[in-house]
Chain A
Amino acid sequence: MDSIIARTLSKTYRSGKSETHALRGIDLDIPAGELFGLVGPDGAGKTTLIRILVSLILPDQGTASVGGMDVVRDYGLLRRRIGYVPGRFSLYQDLTVQENLHFFASVFGVNADEQYGSVREIYKYLEPFRNRKAGQLSGGMKQKLALSCALIHHPSVLFLDEPTTGVDAVSRKEFWILLSQLRSQGMTIFVSTPYMDEAARCDRVGLIQEGKMLRIDTPSAIVREFPLTLYALSTDRMSRVKADLSGCAEVRSAFAFGTNYHLTFYTEEGPRTCVHLLQQKGHSSIRLEVIQPGIEDCFMYFMKEA
Chain B
Amino acid sequence: MPTKLARVAFGAFIQKEWKHIFRDRKTILILFGMPLVQILIFGFALSNEVKHARIAVFDQSNDSFSRELVKRLDASRHFDVVSRLDHPTAVQDAFKAGNIRLVVVIPAGFENALRAFHQAPLQLLADGSDPNLGTTVVHYASAIVGASQEELLEHHSLPYGFETELRMMFNPQLEAAYNFVPGVMAMILLLICAMMTSVAIVREKEHGNMEVLLVSPVKPLWIILAKTIPYLVLSTANICSILLLSYFVLDVPVKGSVPLLIGGSLIFTVTALSLGMFVSSIAHTQTVAMFGTLVGLFLPSLMFSDFMFPVDNMPEPLRILSYALPSRWYFYIVKSVMIKGLGLEGIWKELLILSGMTLVLLFVSIRKFDNRLAL
Contacts and interface: CB of A to CB of B under 8 A. Distances in A.
B214 A56 contact: yes
Interface stretch (A72-80, A124-132, A230-238, A244-252): A72-80
Contacts of A84: 211-212, 215
Contact of B209 (A80, A82, A87, A91): A91
A90 B373 contact: no
Contacts of B16: 92, 95, 99, 103
Interface of B: 1-2, 5, 8-9, 11-13, 15-16, 19-20, 23-24, 207-209, 211-218, 371-373, 375
Contacts, number: 85
A109 B8 contact: yes
Given A106-B8, A109-B1, A54 B215 contact: yes
B235 to A, nearest CB: 22
A107 interface: yes
Given A75-B371, A106-B12, A94 B23 contact: yes
Given A90-B211, A102-B12, A109-B5, A76 B217 contact: yes
Given A88-B207, A103-B12, A106-B12, A79 B217 contact: yes
Contacts of B20: 92, 94-95
Interface string A58-101: 10000000000000000110011010101111111111000100
A79 B207 CA distance: 20
A92 B12 contact: no
B45 to A, nearest CB: 35
B11 A82 contact: no
Contacts of A79: 214-217
Contacts of A58: 372
A144 to B, nearest CB: 15
A257 interface: no
A13 B375 contact: yes
Interface of A: 13, 51, 54-58, 75-76, 79-80, 82, 84, 86-95, 99, 102-104, 106-109, 149-150
Given A88-B208, A94-B19, A107-B9, A57 B372 contact: yes
A107 B13 contact: yes
A248 B106 CA distance: 108
A80 B5 CA distance: 13
20 contacts: A55-B215, A55-B372, A57-B375, A79-B214, A79-B217, A80-B217, A84-B212, A86-B211, A88-B208, A90-B209, A94-B19, A94-B23, A103-B12, A103-B13, A104-B216, A106-B9, A106-B12, A107-B9, A108-B9, A149-B212
Nearest to B211: A86
B24 A94 contact: yes
Contact of B12 (A13, A76, A107, A149): A107
A57 B8 CA distance: 27
Nearest to B1: A109
A56 B38 CA distance: 43
Given A84-B212, A106-B9, A51 B373 contact: yes
> Which 6 pairs of residues, A with B, have the shortest CB-CB distance?
A106-B12, A88-B208, A109-B5, A90-B208, A56-B373, A86-B211
B375 A82 contact: no
A84 B23 CA distance: 27
A302 to B, nearest CB: 29
Contacts of A87: 208
A13 B19 CA distance: 37
Given A84-B212, A86-B212, A104-B216, 5 more contacts: A84-B215, A94-B23, A103-B13, A107-B12, A109-B2
